[in-house]
Structure 1
Amino acid sequence: MTWSAEGARDGGSRRPHVCLIAMHFPPSRASGVFRPLAMANHLVAAGWDVTVITATRAFFEDVTGSTDDALLDQVDTRIRVRRVPVPADHLVTDVRRMSWQRAHLPKPVGAWQRARRRFAFPDRYERWIPGVVACAAEFNRTHPIDVVVATGNPWSAFEAGRRIATSGARLVLDYRDSWTLDQFRERDAFSPGDRAWAAERRLVDAADLLVFVNEPMRAWHARRYPDASRRMTVVENGYDPALLGDIPFRTPEPGPLRLGSIGTVTEHWPHETWLGWDEARTAPELAGAQLRLYGHLGFSPAAGATIAAMLPGADRGVVWAGPVQKSGVGALYRSFDVLVMMIPSSRYVTAGKTYEYMATGKPIVAIHGPESAAALPMAGYPLLYGGTDLDPRAVAESFRAAARRARTVTAQDHARAQDHARSYRRDRLLAPFEARLRELLR
């Protein structure tokens, strides 16, 4: 079975058909939505028929608790989107929203669920798998699937993709996160003998291509599964120019500088470095300055109170301003004089905001250790301060240096910084990925 450069098979005119399994897709506002959105848009623009299988709106509203309808406008109208309900009663913590059986018979239901987990695919969303497979089987009869791209987490998407691909399609597994690697603690996520290891091994063996968001993560999996290393590649996250918009050069206004951070605030941030911010605020360069944080507190509503308690508060010049719709991100970036990026100091974590921050062309205070995977794309960014030491005194000096530089940045400096970022545009990063998918069909 071969395809021409235009996607015609065996001399015919049919475009290659990719089925993208992504639980998080617009209107979801989860941080993982932007990678599959960019993939789908890029592939349909490159000549593929694209069908996305995702969750229903009810799941985003009732379980994950975040939606952004503005993101629906970013989905290319040529993309077919199929929404499969996610059985989620076992995930509901509010007794008022539980099923009658779970609310009134918690012990028998709990015992049945524990027994079921001993045999089911080892992922909390495994009940989604049959619906996804059935959905794909339905349209595969009239519109054959050539490539299945499953993005995780959740890892049930991988297993659904494996089952769908048994019909003859190629299978691509996109590790947006890691499953058996604890990215933050840099160690195995499961004990030896856990069922997750065998499940991942089965998936890795079945995959025609395994994709990772950074080289350290790819290398870890290559060491774990050396026989699959040649089928592994890296597609970094990058940034979406259409979502970010134009960020022109401007000089700071008179008065206190505007410092900002955009992105999910997590418990994995190096919160101990807030002492460095306290010290920096005493410097003339940061007199009266506030640091405004925009984003969700954690990855679930339950985490909010715990994370809020880790933040300094307005009396120390830090204001949590809440989440912002993606359509408003560009305006926020334009309003900031200095960007502050706090992320875990892990070899395996590259925050998506790393690329957006660089695309603004503004001074960045990087608060993470030198081992962080974010240090790789940021190497050479001309307006970077920090990222080498988490000692509060070093963090304070990074804030002061970025503040001083914000007052002296020129249009040429701004242009050079944005030039560095352009190689990380999502369309440029996805072009080799799209070519690799076509190679699978030769």
Structure 2
Amino acid sequence: MNQPNGRRPRVLYLAFYFPPTRASGVFRARATANHFAERGWDVTVHTAPREFFTRYIDSYDETLESTIHPEVTVVRPGLDYYRWVTDIRDYGRFRANFPSLATMLHRWETERFFPEHYASWIPRVLAAALKQHRKTRFDLVVATGNPFASFAAAWMLHKLLRVPYVVDYRDAWTFNQFTEELKYPPDHSAWTWEERVLREAAEIVFVNNGMRQWYADRYPFAAERMTVVPNGWEPEILGDLDTEPVPDRPLRFGYVGTVTDAMPIEELFDGWRQARHDPALQDATLHVHGHLGFFPRHVPVLLDRMPVEEGIGVHYEGPAPKADIAKVYDSLDVLLFWVPGARYVTSGKVFEYMATGKPIVSVHKPDIAAVDVLDGHPLWVRNADLSSGSIAQALITGARLARSRTPGQARAAREHALRYTRDAVLAPFEQRLRSLARA
């Protein structure tokens, strides 16, 4: 439905991480922009320059840009690369000659304006948005974080243009959702900025109820405007996978996603060593598909923690482009839901995992937010704790499920997952924002 004046509702979507980056939050951002465009919105996305992903952080997947809806307009305001320039040959004259003073001034300038390395993106976003708004006004601004410079930009645009704004917490801003510790001391300006943003936001969105509750307790004045929009999965990317039980051959266990140092790495492989003594895992293999960390420097450290040379069937397969992800899932018999443990962690991969119709073995602390999503999935194997014995038993149970799984169980698993397609989880959100834009 169009606006009362007959034109499409127009949204400015501030998503620093957007294709071609492969950063974990990009799939939520991509899906949100596509869903709104598909529902008839005029969508403009402000994201980072392409070279930031390809040159400075080496985090990109060339296949992702082709999955953006053709009617989404993508704008790439610049930013200051000071934080990411590490080669002295690329330094300016002042920084090369006075590096300590240059760093001190850069830090002072950043903290005075906005306490984040991405602060320099904000004025470029404002300049581009003001120019676009003068041509055709925006009805709404939506910002997703991290980084939280997008939240600050949304608040500033609200002040300048009197346009309502919505903030989407893919991650927590002021506390670490993996360790459950506060990120900043009580007098840090990040707290001031967060309270400022939340006081005037029209809606505040979180990926799970645990995170929403933490913020509701911290900022009770905004609790009534806090909602949950879970992550989801894309049927057009996953396709239809094999639903037959595994024939009489060695089983292939697998993990699909980014490996980080916050995951229970040693715990998984200790459990794997123990489980391989069981006949159910005779000659079974474990395949890790994905990036090791978010930056190149993480690769050797994480690879060293994986027993790929031990002769116990562990293989690191490297990253898979999103366009090939269905083939990867089809090659596996049992999926390992292997994630950092905390009450505020859901993970985006769990939704794809559920939709495959394959057995899922949990390898994480038992009380993370993702268990609320998995509860009721007919092929989910829950680990009791992170002891090697508990993980080994879960792996053995998963192996037996792979052999005995029926097409009916696989269909029931996919039906469970249908509640979490991107369109299903975003539809109520889009309707609320349409009403907000019309108002």
Judge same fold: TM > 0.5, yes or no.
yes
Aligned to 1:153: 146
Map of 1:37-436 to 2, 5 A cutoff?
37-166=30-159, 167-273=161-267, 274-315=269-310, 316-436=312-432
* TM-score, normalization by structure 2: 0.96
Cα 1:27–1:256, aligned 2, differ >3 Å: closer, same or farther?
same
Letter in 2 for 1:270: P
Q: CA deviation at 1:388?
A: 2.9
Letter in 1 for 2:359: P
Moved more, 147-156 or 89-98: 89-98
Q: CA deviation at 1:146?
A: 0.6
SS of residue paired to 1:129 = helix
Residues 59, 294 of structure 2: 8 Å contact kept: no
How far apart, CA to CA, are the structure 2 residues paired with 1:193 and 1:179? 15
How far apart, CA to CA, are the structure 2 residues paired with 1:18 and 1:134? 16
Letter in 2 for 1:413: Q
How far apart, CA to CA, are the structure 2 residues paired with 1:354 and 1:424? 10
Number of matched pairs: 435
How far apart, CA to CA, are the structure 1 residues paired with 2:108 and 2:360? 50
Runs of 5+ consecutive residues of structure 1 not aligned to the other structure:
1-5
Residues 37, 71 of structure 2: 8 Å contact kept: yes
Letter in 2 for 1:370: P
CA deviation digits over 1:80-111, x for unaligned, max 9?
A: 11111232122223334444443443122112
Q: CA deviation at 1:206?
A: 2.0
SS of residue paired to 1:69 = coil
How far apart, CA to CA, are the structure 2 residues paired with 1:114 and 1:83? 24
How far apart, CA to CA, are the structure 2 residues paired with 1:101 and 1:27? 33
Q: CA deviation at 1:324?
A: 1.1
* TM-score, normalization by structure 1: 0.96
How far apart, CA to CA, are the structure 2 residues paired with 1:40 and 1:254? 44
How far apart, CA to CA, are the structure 2 residues paired with 1:62 and 1:251? 44
Aligned to 1:29: 22
How far apart, CA to CA, are the structure 2 residues paired with 1:320 and 1:298? 13
How far apart, CA to CA, are the structure 2 residues paired with 1:215 and 1:277? 32
Moved more, 90-99 or 194-203: 90-99
Residues 89, 99 of structure 1: 8 Å contact kept: no
- When the two chains are superposed, the root-mean-square deviation of aligned CA atoms in Å is 1.4
Q: CA deviation at 1:349?
A: 0.7
How far apart, CA to CA, are the structure 2 residues paired with 1:356 and 1:194? 38
Moved more, 372-381 or 313-322: 313-322
CA deviation digits over 1:294-352, x for unaligned, max 9?
A: 11111222222222222222423222211111001011001111101111120001110
Aligned to 1:3: none
Cα 1:406–1:203, aligned 2, differ >3 Å: closer, same or farther?
same
Runs of 5+ consecutive residues of structure 2 not aligned to the other structure:
none
